[in-house]
Amino acid sequence: MENLQMVPADTEVEIVIADYRDERQGADLLGLMDHYSRDPYGGGEPLLDLCHRELLGRLAEFPGAFTVLAYRGEEAVGLANCFMGFSTFMCKPLVNIHDVVVKDSARGLGVCTRIMEKVAEVARERGCCKITLEVLEKNLPARGAYLKCGFKPYALDEEYGKAEFWQRYL
C-alpha cells in the first residue's frame, strides 16, 4: 500500500503547468503516471522502466507537449498530459489530452474540473478550436467527469454514428 499524505478535504487545489526539468515536478509526474498505469483503466501494470528513465526528457523535447499538474498542499493529486494537434476542418490548432490522472484520495473534490479549466485556458491562449480526449467506454467515473467539464462523444452527423478511437502498434 502506498504511503499517502493526509491532507484536509478543504485544502486548496493548486494548478500548475509542469516544468519537465524541475526535479520535484518531474518526480510527481512520473509518480502519477505510475499510479495511473497500475490502475485497471491504465493497463494494470507498473509504468515501464523506459518511461521512468526517458519520459521527462522526451516530453521536454516534444514540440507542443505540456502537462497540467494538480496539488493539494504538497501532494501531487492529478495531471493531464497534453499535445498540440491540428484540425483540418477548422484550420486551427487543437489540444489533445492523452492522459488524465486523479488520485483516488482526491476524487470528488473538483480536481479534474480544475485541470480541464487550465487545459482550456492554455488552448484558448494558443488559438485552439477544440480540446480532444479519449476515454474507455466502461470508465464511468471518467466519462461522468468529462461530461461535467463539457466534453461529449464526437459525431459529424448522428446518422453516421460517433467517432471511435482506433490504434495500430508499430
Q: Cβ of 55: how many Cβ atoms within 10 Å? A: 18
Give alpha helix (H) positions in the chain. 23-38, 49-61, 111-125, 140-148
Q: Which pLDDT belongs to residue 10?
A: 56
Q: Cβ of 98: how many Cβ atoms within 10 Å? A: 14
Closest CA to 41 of 135, 132, 154: 135
Q: For 30-41, how does the pLDDT look when each residue is reduced to its tens digit (9 = 90+)? A: 999 999 999 999
Closest CA to 17 of 75, 61, 60: 60
Q: Which pLDDT belongs to residue 2?
A: 38
Cell of 130: 477544440
Q: Which pLDDT belongs to residue 156?
A: 86
Q: What is the pTM of this model?
A: 0.90
Strand 13-17 with 92-102, pairing: unpaired
Q: Which pLDDT belongs to residue 85?
A: 98
How far does the chain reach from its first CA to its final CA, in angstroms? Answer: 35
List the chain residues with pLDDT less than 50: 1-7
Cα–Cα distance, 23 to 56 (Å, whole number)? 10
Q: Which pLDDT belongs to residue 3?
A: 36
Q: Which pLDDT belongs to residue 5?
A: 42
Q: Which pLDDT belongs to residue 150?
A: 96
